[in-house]
Structure 1
Amino acid sequence: MATDNASHPLAVHIRDRLASDARTVEFGIDVVVREDVVVLRGQVATARRRALIEAVAREAASGLRIANDVTVVELPHQARRADGASW
C-alpha cells in the first residue's frame, strides 16, 4: 500500500517553489508524493490561484502526474475588495 510522503525531496522542492514563486506565494498548501504522483492539498480563495498552484507544481515536477486536490473556498462578501476581486 502506498503512503503519502511529505518529506520526499520532490515534495520539499515543490513547497519551496510555491512559497518563493511570485505567482503562488501561498501558505498552507500541502504537497505529498505518492509513488509517481504529486498530490496538492489545501484551500485557496479563487480558481485562478488553484490553477497557478498547479502550474508551478507542474514546472517543478516535470514528467510526474499532478493530483490537484486544492479546493476553492469563497470568501464572505465583506472580505472582497470594492472591485469584486478577492484579497
Structure 2
Amino acid sequence: MTEQPDYLEARITERLAARAHELGVQVDVRDQTVYLRGEVVSEERRRELEEAARTAAEGREIRNEVSVVPVRAPDGEETLP
C-alpha cells in the first residue's frame, strides 16, 4: 500500500525542519513527484533541502523549485525615531 500524498508531504516537511532547519518551504506531492518551493539564502541551503527531502521521499522524483535569494548587508545604520 502506498502512502497518501498528505502524509508524505507532512513527513517530508518534518524532515526538512529536523535536518535542514527550514520551515518556509512548501512541499507538494503529485503522483510520483515531490515538488519543493520557496526561498532560501544560498545554493548550499537549496541542496541541503533537496537531500533532506530525498531521504523521506521513498524513491520519488524530487523537483527542487526553491529559489536562492541572497541576503544583503544593510546599506547603512538604521535610525529609529
Q: Normalising TM by the smaller chain, what interval?
A: 0.7 to 0.9
* Max Rg structure: 2
Runs of at least 5 residues in structure 1 that lack an aligned partner in the other structure: 1-6, 80-87
Q: What's 1:10 paired with?
A: 8
| Poorly superposed stretches of 4+, deviation over 6 Å | none
Matched residue pairs, number? Answer: 71
The one of 15, 31, 35 equivalent to 1:35 is 31
Identical pairs, percent: 39
Counterparts of 2:74 and 2:12 in 1: how far apart (Å)? 33
- Structure 2: runs of 5+ lacking an equivalent: 76-81
CA distances 1:34-83 after superposition (whole Å, capped 9, x unpaired): 1110000000000000000000000111310000000000111339xxxx
Aligned position for 2:61:
65
Q: Root-mean-square deviation (CA), in Å? A: 1.5
TM-score by length of 2: 0.81
